[in-house]
Amino acid sequence: MDGVHDMGGMDGFGKVEPEPNEPVFHEAWEGRVMAMNRAVGAAGAWNIDVARFSRELLPPQVYLSSSYYERWQLAMERLLVERGLVDADELAAGRALRPGKPLQRGKLTTADIGRVMTRGSFGRPATAPARFAPGDRVRAKNIHPRTHTRLPRYVRGHVGIVERVQGCHVFPDSSALGHEDPQWLYTVRFEGRELWGADADPALTVSIEAFEPYLDPA
Amino acid sequence: MQLRVRALETILTEKGYVDPAALGLIVEAYETKIGPHNGQRVVARAWADPVFKRALLEDATEAVGTLGHVSRVGDHLVAVENTPKLHNMVVCTLCSCYPWEMLGLPPVWYKSAPYRSRAVKDPRGVLADFGVTLPADTEIRVWDSTAETRFLVLPMRPAGTEGWSEERLTSLVTRDSMIGTGLAKRPDEVA
C-alpha cells in the first residue's frame, strides 16, 4: 500500500538526532510490547509480514505521531481483535472475559526462548529458474498494490542493475495475505541520478532487495 | 501507554497466549546479551584475520557461525566492506529491519522518519548529522533492507593499529560504524 511508512525520499522530517548512550528501552513497557509481539508471533498467531502490514494500516496521522513501540502496541491490539484472539470488550475491560483459543505452535515458554532469539530462515526451494542474473538491467514495475508490498515507491519505474541473486525467499506481498509463494530475490542497484534526477549526488548509489515479481527486463 | 500495555499483557496471560516469565527473559536477553558487542567481535576478527574477512564477505551467515563466542545468527546476513573509495550505509525505509543478532535492537534514530526518509536521497546530509564528512568523490552506497537480507558494514580499519590484538581492535568498533553512519574510532580516541 502507498502508506506513510514508505518514507524513502520524503522531505521535511528534519535532522537525524542520535542519542548518546541510548538505553535499549526508554520505558519498561517498551520491552514488554516487544516481547509480547515476539512471543505471540512465535506461538503462531501470525507471521512477520502480517505484523508489518498491520502497522502500515495504522492511520497516517497515528503512524506519524506514535513512537515505534506505540505503533507495535496499537497494531498488535488491532491484529488480535481481527483474528478473533481477543475481543474488543476485553481490551476495554483490561482483562480476559473469555477463555483463549488454541495457537498453532502453542504458548512460548521459558524453556523455548531460543526459538525467538535466532531469526528464522526465509529461504525456500526454488520452483523455477531465476529470471535475472547479475549484470542484467531491470526496471522496477510501476505498481501500487493496496496490500502489503516491499517495493518502495521511490524506485518504481526506475532502471537498475541486478547485483546479487539472494536465493528464493518467502514473498512478503503474499505472506502478508497468508501464503508463502516463494520468489527469487535480487539486490538491485540504482544510480542516485536515476532515482533523484540530474541534481543528485553523482557518487550515490542505492540498492533495494527486490523480489522477481517487482521487476521487468530493461 | 504503560497502563494500556499492562492491560494487554494481563489479557494475553489470562487467555493463555503468553507467559510473563518468558516475556521477562526476552527483555533481559535484549538488554544484556544481544548487542553491538557481537558485531564488534566479528569486525575485529575480520580486521585481524584476512581469511576470516574473505569468508565473511563471501557468506556472512556462515562465517559468523564459525565464531563460537558470538551468538548464533539468522540466515541471510551480508557483510559489506568500506574502502577509501566506497562507503556503505544501511537503512530500512519501510520499517526498521536491522541485524539484531549482530547489533541488538536498533536505536530510535534508525527507526525514525528523518533517517528513513533521507538516507536514500541525501546520505551525505545524514552523515553530517552524525558529524561525519567524506571526500566528495567517495562513492556512497546505501543498502535499503527491503527484504529479510540483513546488512553489516565492515568499517575501514583505522590507521596506526598495526600489530593490535583482536581484543584491542574491538574497542575501536562502534555500533554506528557497522551501520555506516559513523567511522571506526581512531586509536587516540580510545587511549
Length of chain A: 218
For Cα atoms A194, B149, A80, give the angle at the middle one, nearest 5 degrees: 110
Chain A residues touching B104 at Cβ < 8 A = 24
**Length reported for chain B:** 191
Residue A171 has which C-alpha cell? Answer: 514473498
Whether residue B15 and residue A96 make contact (CB cut-off 8 A), yes or no, is yes
Taking an 8 Å cut-off on Cβ atoms, the answer to whether A113 and B1 are in contact is no
Higher pLDDT, A186 or B67: A186
* Domains of chain A (ranges, CATH numbers): 28-117 (1.10.472.20), 137-217 (2.30.30.50)
> Does the distance separating the beta carbons of A209 and B145 come in below 8 Å?
yes
Is A22 in Cβ contact with B129 (below 8 Å)? no
pLDDT tens readout for residues B120-144 = 999 999 999 999 999 999 999 999 9
Q: Are A139 and A165 in contact (CB under 8 A)?
A: no
Å between A100 CA and nearest CA of chain B: 4
- Whether the complex's predicted ipTM is more than 0.85 is answered with yes
Indicate if B165 belongs to the active site.
no
Q: Domain residue spans in chain B?
A: 2-31, 36-190
Q: Average pLDDT in the A81-102 region?
A: 96
* Residue-averaged pLDDT of chain B: 95
Per-residue pLDDT tens digits for A117-172? 777 789 999 989 999 999 999 999 999 999 999 999 999 999 999 999 999 999 99
In the residue annotation, B92 being an active-site residue is answered as: yes
pLDDT at B70: 62
How many Å lie between the alpha carbon of B46 and the closest alpha carbon of chain A? 22
Helices (H), chain B: 2-14, 20-28, 36-48, 50-58, 60-65, 100-103, 108-111, 113-118, 123-129, 166-170, 175-179, 187-190
Distance from CA of B25 to the nearest CA of A (A): 7
Please answer yes or no on whether B26 and A34 come within 8 Å at the CB atom.
yes
Q: Domain B36-190 class?
A: alpha beta
Q: Convert the pLDDT of each residue in B70-101 to its tens digit.
A: 666 667 999 999 999 999 999 999 999 999 98
Is the pTM above the cut of 0.95? yes
Q: Say what the pLDDT of residue A23 is.
A: 96
Q: Which residues of A touch B148 (CB under 8 A)?
A: 119, 122, 169-170
